Amino acid sequence: MCGVKCITFALWINILSVITEKNDFILELTPPKPVIHVGSDLELTCRVNACPGNVTFMWTVLLDNSHSGRSKDEQIVSRLLIRNITVKHSISVVCKATCEGKPRQRTSAIQVFSFPQDPVLPKIKSLIANQTQKLSCTLYNVFPLNRIQIEWLRGDKILHVDQHETFFDDHVQNYSFVFNYTPSVLDLGKNISCKATLNMPEIGLYKTRNSNAEYGPGTISISSNNPSVKLGEHLEITCHADGNPKPTILWWKEETEPAQNKSQNEKLIINNASWSQAGWYRCDASNPVGRKQMRVKVIVLGPPKIPKIQLSHRGDPKEGENITILCSSDEGAVKLTLYRQSQSAASGAVNEPAVLLNIPSVQITDEGIYICEAKNDFGIKSCTINITVEAQQHEVKMPDLPVAILPAVGSVSLLTIAGLLIQYFRKKARINSSNITLS
> Taking the complex as a whole, how short is the minimal distance between the CB of residue 425 and ligand NAG, in angstroms?
15
Question: Is residue 232 involved in binding ligand NAG (CB under 6 A)?
Answer: yes
> Taking the complex as a whole, how short is the minimal distance between the CB of residue 270 and ligand NAG, in angstroms?
11
Decide if 79 contacts 95 (C-beta within 8 A).
no
Strand 111-113, strand 279-286: pairing: unpaired
User: Using only C-alpha atoms, what is the Rg of the chain?
Assistant: 46
Strand 368-376, strand 248-253: pairing: unpaired
d(CA 125, CA 216) in angstroms, rounded, equals: 5
Cα three-residue angle 40-46-48, rounded to 5 degrees: 165
Nearer to ligand NAG, 134 or 234 (CB): 234
Question: Is residue 369 involved in binding ligand NAG (CB under 6 A)?
Answer: yes
Question: Is residue 322 involved in binding ligand NAG (CB under 6 A)?
Answer: yes
Q: Please select the residue that binds ligand NAG; options are 351, 365, 388, 433, rule is CB under 6 A.
A: 388
> Taking the complex as a whole, how short is the minimal distance between the CB of residue 388 and ligand NAG, in angstroms?
5
- Closest to 284 measured CA to CA, from 195, 216, 377: 216
Question: Is residue 122 involved in binding ligand NAG (CB under 6 A)?
Answer: no
Give the range of 20-28, 168-176, 200-208, 255-263 binding ligand NAG by CB under 6 A. 168-176
Question: Is residue 86 involved in binding ligand NAG (CB under 6 A)?
Answer: yes
Q: Please select the residue that binds ligand NAG; options are 40, 146, 174, 344, rule is CB under 6 A.
A: 174
Question: Is residue 288 involved in binding ligand NAG (CB under 6 A)?
Answer: no
Nearer to ligand NAG, 50 or 350 (CB): 50
Q: Please select the residue that binds ligand NAG; options are 49, 176, 386, 437, rule is CB under 6 A.
A: 386
Question: Is residue 20 involved in binding ligand NAG (CB under 6 A)?
Answer: no
Cα three-residue angle 147-153-155, rounded to 5 degrees: 135
Question: Is residue 117 involved in binding ligand NAG (CB under 6 A)?
Answer: no
Q: Please select the residue that binds ligand NAG; options are 20, 272, 351, 392, rule is CB under 6 A.
A: 272
Question: Is residue 320 involved in binding ligand NAG (CB under 6 A)?
Answer: no
- Closest to 354 measured CA to CA, from 370, 331, 376: 331
Decide if 111 contacts 31 (C-beta within 8 A).
no
Of residues 290-319, those binding ligand NAG (CB under 6 A): none
What are the residues whose beta carbons fall under 8 Å from the beta carbon of 226, sequence distance 6 or more? 297, 299
Give the range of 15-23, 294-302, 414-422, 423-431 binding ligand NAG by CB under 6 A. 414-422
d(CA 411, CA 210) in angstroms, rounded, equals: 86
Decide if 339 contacts 434 (C-beta within 8 A).
no
Preceding amide of 31 cis, omega within 30: yes
Contacts with ligand NAG by CB under 6 A lie at 39, 53-54, 84, 86, 140, 155, 172-174, 190-191, 212, 232, 272, 274, 322, 324, 358, 360, 369, 386, 388, 417, 419-420
